[in-house]
Structure 1
Amino acid sequence: MKRAFQSLLYVGVILIMTGSSSETSVMTRLDNVIKAEVDDLSELYFDLHRHPELSLFEKETSKKMAGELREIGFEVTENFGGYGVVGVYKNGDGPVILYRTDMDALPMQEKTGLPYASKSIAKDADGIEVNTMHSCGHDMHMTVWNGTARALVKMKDQWKGTLVFIGQPAEEIGRGAKLMLDAGLYEKFPLPDYGIGLHCSPTIEAGKVGYGSGFTMANTESVDIIVYGQGSHGATPHQSIDPIVLASLIVMDLQTIVSRTIPPTESAVLTVGSIKGGTKHNIIPDEVRLQLTLRSYKEEVRQMLHKGIERITKGAAIAAGLPENKYPKVVFPEIWTPANYNDPQLTNDLTASARKALGETNVLDAAPLMVGEDFSRYGLTEEDVPTVLFWLGTVPRQRIEQAAKNEEKLPGLHSPFYYPDVELTITTGVKVMSTSILDLMEKGRQ
């Protein structure tokens, strides 16, 4: 009996060692693949960074991403939902995994002073010439996406399934995901079992990643309010109903919506970002315009914000003595960005893969933020695809150390001073994403 037990124990140890050895072999091979590609991927990043394109104008970027996928071996569809790209790579029976990158840049001037800094000037949707910059990391997103495609195809003997790699336009204006879904992404291409993506972090050090479960990003809405009044000479205010005073009262009262009507256990933000009215010192105008941004996680909280805005604006107009036809006009957007929800089980799976790829200390818990991302839409259709968007650390070590000493404040995304540690970020992103997809493929076959 004792000898039989020892034999079983010996077999178990051998199996464990064999499995561990096999896993180590795959990771070593992945490291070698990435090492062989990183210089070329860095050049791709520099090229993308130098040539940014605005939302809905991603013509050349889209063409480049499609060409890269096609060269790797994907079947590619271009101009899908605007300038969207869909690449499909079939490698036997197994799970279908969607991996999204976004492609658009922002209308702002770069001030990093880097040798590869963007000097691009483009016309926006209104035909106005603007400086253009990848200050939200979409150039890095595309590079890691491309590098992951290269790695997985080179290691196709290690997995079975289907890759659906999509290049999405117009994320910065919250329209691209809807454009691609409305064009039939889930009907015309293999329906994914999982949807994954990453986003550059301006606070996490390069070489690390961050994961959050559940709500991680917010419902994002831009709201306009037109406040009407009765104009007059500035010296005869008694003959007016002053919309500047009325708008000021509304701005202050709007602050009570979050502080006094939203339950303290819920999260919400209401910010008035713009107030415009009047033309001259001594003229009381007849209207003032307000621009707001609203943030929330839950639909019921979003509706509470809407009702609060309508109640306060109407009440202010009544108190001022305005007739009903001059009550403020509140314009809520038809298209807005819904909150991103990371599927808890998929988050656990991807976190485990990241720890295997990078080690325990380089995988962080990421707190939810009030920023918005239309990646959320891929998990909100009737197909109910589980999705996760995680944070890819990008900040150079030197900047982390300087910030710790209060020598420099870390620039956020959408800052003209933002830039990543290029090579380390690429290496980390490709390794984590490739490992995650390999593990999901294996899980789906079990």
Structure 2
Amino acid sequence: MTGPARTVLAGLDAVRSDVEDLYRDLHRHPELGLREHRTARKAADALRQSGYDVTEGVGGTGVVGVLANGDGPVVMVRADMDALPVRERTGLPYASTATVTDTDGREQPVMHACGHDVHVSCLVGCARLMAERRDAWRGTFVALFQPSEEDGAGADAMVRDGLTAKSPRPDVVLAQHVLPYPAGYVGTRAGSFLSAADSLRVTVHGRGAHGSAPQASVDPVVIAASIVVRLQTVVSRELAATTPAVVTVGSIHAGSSPNVIPDRAVLEINVRTYDNATRTQVLDAVKRIVRAECEGARSPEAPEFQRLSSFPPTVNDEEPTRRVADAFTAYFGDDAHTVELQTASEDMSEIPQAFGVPFTYWAIGGIDPDRYAEAARRGTVAQDVPVNHSATFAPVLQPTLDTGVSALTVAALAWLGETDAREPGSAPPA
């Protein structure tokens, strides 16, 4: 199965500098979700130059490029495009200094702190290679660039905007994510891979009073503090030790003066689980605890719950994952691994679900291998290796980009390169 892949990837040296230049450019010019106009234009222009039929503006800023190359399977490969409201501290010569104005009129820094610039650059490189060596495969290659993954809105936006009518129905959907593993690493995992994630905003009500007269109040700060402490028992005391889940209170806001007891407190809570039964159990427990603490404190109003975002679990289908894992082992050798369960979340699975087709999603590494090895030797990986969403997260250019381009190409050709794709009279693959 590596013959077509090696044929197509023989062109990697010729595209490497362009992929690196695109990565630096995208990293320097990050864009938040549903504002990825420049990024989407770059991707669309690159696809058109390679002969793709391109549809822009899907779900806002999404791009779909279709390259039909005779009868055969249809493979869709997805990359996400959006950045994060983070101020970059990498010190790179191509570091972002970009800012945007949010809906409240405040200036926010923007950074590609999650590696979506890697994803876009690698898919552009893969798409170009596939177009340049159409003699090595047969079928249809679909390159999909998705907006707004970070808030879980982008895949749904593309689906609601008619994605299934704007792209051929794929036989499989493929995607990858750069993670804090050594660059050159590729890792697959069948079944549960990424968690579901649900973010809630909870408003608890009290009765305001002077700080010198607490007896006249119902203090929402104390209610909020009790909720935070009690929520720590959901995972530790209500779930089996073998059932993974995370409950995080990431934000609390209450009051504006040290001598005024406010009349409300707002908590933002994030829940991560791996199956629907646990998801329901944990979310029910969060709401039960909030209501009970409010009732116990004599809160004058019932608490309010607002769903901020919701990500489905990413559960890789067995057969395509096995096929990709076998192709990676054949091509990458010892750099192909089984990756452990991740507590990060993704909305990518909504795309294959809309088409009713299987998918698989894998990891590539982005950390300088020597840096990672030294941290592993000292036992300080957690402290010394920047993780996604960190202000210092910046995948090394190589071998990260080469690995990403190669992984996408090898995986796609596990379907598209299955049959003899040569046209009559064409030269055999090298």
The interval holding the TM-score normalised by the smaller chain is over 0.9
Match of 1:139 among 117, 131, 135: 117
C-alpha distance in structure 2 between counterparts of 1:25 and 1:226, whole Å: 59
**SS of the residue 2:54 aligns to:** strand
Please say if 1:242 is aligned against 2:228. no
How far off is 1:278 after superposition? 1.8
Query: What corresponds to 1:81 in structure 2?
Result: 59
C-alpha distance in structure 1 between counterparts of 2:374 and 2:266, whole Å: 41
**SS of the residue 2:398 aligns to:** helix
**SS of the residue 2:58 aligns to:** coil
Q: Cα RMSD between the aligned structures?
A: 1.9
- Partners of 1:95 and 1:445 within 8 A in 2: no
- Partners of 1:38 and 1:423 within 8 A in 2: no
Query: What corresponds to 1:13 in structure 2?
Result: none
Please say if 1:130 is aligned against 2:113. no
How far off is 1:200 after superposition? 0.5
Q: For residues 221-236 of structure 1, what are the structure 2 equivalents within 5 Å?
A: 221-236=198-213
Q: For residues 275-354 of structure 1, what are the structure 2 equivalents within 5 Å?
A: 275-323=252-300, 326-333=301-308, 335-354=309-328
How far off is 1:86 after superposition? 0.6
Query: What corresponds to 1:97 in structure 2?
Result: 75
C-alpha distance in structure 1 between counterparts of 2:255 and 2:391, whole Å: 31
Query: What corresponds to 2:89 in structure 1?
Result: 111
Query: What corresponds to 2:16 in structure 1?
Result: 38
Deviations 1:42-72 (A, max 9, x none): 1111111111111111111111110000000
Please say if 1:121 is aligned against 2:95. no
Structure 2: which amino acid aligns with 1:162?
T
How far off is 1:372 after superposition? 0.8
Stretches of structure 2 lacking an aligned partner (at least 5 in a row): 422-430
How far off is 1:127 after superposition? 3.8
Stretches of structure 1 lacking an aligned partner (at least 5 in a row): 1-22
C-alpha distance in structure 2 between counterparts of 1:126 and 1:283, whole Å: 25
Query: What corresponds to 1:4 in structure 2?
Result: none
Query: What corresponds to 2:343 in structure 1?
Result: 370
Match of 2:132 among 137, 150, 154: 154
**1:25–1:60 distance in 2 versus 1, CA, 3 Å:** same
C-alpha distance in structure 2 between counterparts of 1:216 and 1:66, whole Å: 30
C-alpha distance in structure 1 between counterparts of 2:324 and 2:405, whole Å: 14
How far off is 1:30 after superposition? 3.3
**1:24–1:290 distance in 2 versus 1, CA, 3 Å:** closer
Deviations 1:204-243 (A, max 9, x none): 1111201111111111111111111122222222222221
Structure 2: which amino acid aligns with 1:438?
L
Q: For residues 262-273 of structure 1, what are the structure 2 equivalents within 5 Å?
A: 262-273=239-250
Deviations 1:293-315 (A, max 9, x none): 11111112111122112221222
Query: What corresponds to 1:435 in structure 2?
Result: 410
- Partners of 2:137 and 2:419 within 8 A in 1: no
C-alpha distance in structure 2 between counterparts of 1:174 and 1:188, whole Å: 21
How far off is 1:362 after superposition? 0.4
How far off is 1:351 after superposition? 0.7
How far off is 1:150 after superposition? 1.2
Match of 1:388 among 344, 351, 360: 360
Please say if 1:55 is aligned against 2:52. no
How far off is 1:28 after superposition? 4.4
Deviations 1:276-295 (A, max 9, x none): 11222222211111111111
Q: For residues 4-15 of structure 1, what are the structure 2 equivalents within 5 Å?
A: none
Larger RCO (CA within 8 A; separation ≥ 6): 2
- Partners of 2:137 and 2:420 within 8 A in 1: no
Structure 2: which amino acid aligns with 1:114?
L
Please say if 1:423 is aligned against 2:423. no
How far off is 1:329 after superposition? 1.5
**1:445–1:294 distance in 2 versus 1, CA, 3 Å:** farther
- Partners of 2:9 and 2:409 within 8 A in 1: no
TM-score, normalised to structure 2, is: 0.92
**1:240–1:122 distance in 2 versus 1, CA, 3 Å:** closer
Identity %: 38
C-alpha distance in structure 2 between counterparts of 1:63 and 1:384, whole Å: 29
- Partners of 2:86 and 2:391 within 8 A in 1: yes
TM-score, normalised to structure 1, is: 0.89
C-alpha distance in structure 2 between counterparts of 1:445 and 1:374, whole Å: 35
Structure 2: which amino acid aligns with 1:83?
T
C-alpha distance in structure 1 between counterparts of 2:105 and 2:227, whole Å: 34
How far off is 1:121 after superposition? 2.1
Query: What corresponds to 1:184 in structure 2?
Result: 162
Q: For residues 163-174 of structure 1, what are the structure 2 equivalents within 5 Å?
A: 163-174=141-152
Q: How many residues align?
A: 418
- Partners of 2:113 and 2:394 within 8 A in 1: yes
Structure 2: which amino acid aligns with 1:278?
G
**1:64–1:371 distance in 2 versus 1, CA, 3 Å:** same
C-alpha distance in structure 2 between counterparts of 1:220 and 1:196, whole Å: 21
C-alpha distance in structure 2 between counterparts of 1:277 and 1:25, whole Å: 62
C-alpha distance in structure 1 between counterparts of 2:199 and 2:404, whole Å: 32
Match of 1:212 among 162, 172, 189: 189
- Partners of 1:196 and 1:389 within 8 A in 2: yes
- Partners of 1:30 and 1:431 within 8 A in 2: no
**SS of the residue 1:440 aligns to:** helix
